[in-house]
Amino acid sequence: MKTRITIAVAAALLAGTAHAGRSCEQKPPTVQTIDRGLALAARTQEMLDTLGQDVVVLARAGQDLTKYGQHYSHIGLAYRQPDGKGGHVWRVVHKLNHCGTAEAAVYRQGLGEFFLDDLWRYEAAFSMPSPDVQQKLLAVLPDDRAVTRLHHKPYSIVSYAWGKTYQQSNQWTIETMAAAVDPEVRTRAKAQAWLRLRDYRPAVLKLDALTRLGGRIGAANVAFDDHPLEKRFADRIETVTADSVFRWMERTGLGSAAVPVGID
């Protein structure tokens, strides 16, 4: 049984990601898309190396969320990994939705792959966790079992920040951070209690009933039934966004203000 679990975890982390986090539309990337994605990856690596960080919370702008007051759409945990030749490479551990379905898995990718996901805007940003937080994350992120311990497969892109029914990508990131920093955090409930205690404040998206209905009917990866009725009927959808995570890290001293990265 242990071997089967190990194989399953490795498969989720190391599987090909041709459709991970995408809509499954058969649309091959263009030369320009690849070129700009790799340029953004190179610029990001240059900045990370210059600043001498070991771990950062890294965001990309994969979707246009400006009407909801959000700038970045997706975050992951990027860490420096020795390459065995005296140098290093950067890896990003993050959760991705399967082709717009109601399930997701955790993946480990290079910076190039992270920025080749058909971005809406070729911008990135990162927060540098405090040195103590970085070292605790660095002890966890290379470990397949550790990074999937709090992973919950059922997925909704707008999952309730304090719910257990679903888990979206940004939610997995901060719950995993909680478990890395505090060894007493072994469940999602404890991770969320840790986040509340440290004043994490989810984003509040204003989504009226028609918008919610359209989203639920039109996509398997959108669900609102985990949100408390009184908040849902008040059009208050509380979920974890990249921008809210950056604000939280800066406000509490867990990390730096977001550092933007762009290309010409």
The average confidence (pLDDT) of the chain is 87
How far is Cα 37 from Cα 42, in angstroms, rounded to an integer?
9
Please choose, from the candidates 145, 142, 131, 143, the residue with its C-alpha nearest in 3D space to the C-alpha of residue 181.
Answer: 131
- The whole-number average pLDDT for the span 53-72 is 94
Confidence class of residue 211 from pLDDT cuts 50, 70 and 90?
low
- The whole-number average pLDDT for the span 33-50 is 95
% of the chain beyond a pLDDT of 70: 86
Judge whether residue 16 has pLDDT over 70. no
Confidence class of residue 98 from pLDDT cuts 50, 70 and 90?
confident
pLDDT of residue 99: 80
Judge whether residue 3 has pLDDT over 70. no
Q: Which residues lie across from 93 on neighbouring strands?
A: 77, 108
DSSP conformational letter for 105? E
Judge whether residue 183 has pLDDT over 90. yes
- The whole-number average pLDDT for the span 203-230 is 74
Q: Which two tokens stand for residue 42?
A: 């190179």
Q: Sort 159 into a burial class: Cβ within 10 Å, 0-12 / 13-18 / 19+.
A: buried
pLDDT of residue 138: 97
Domain boundaries, the chain: 2-262
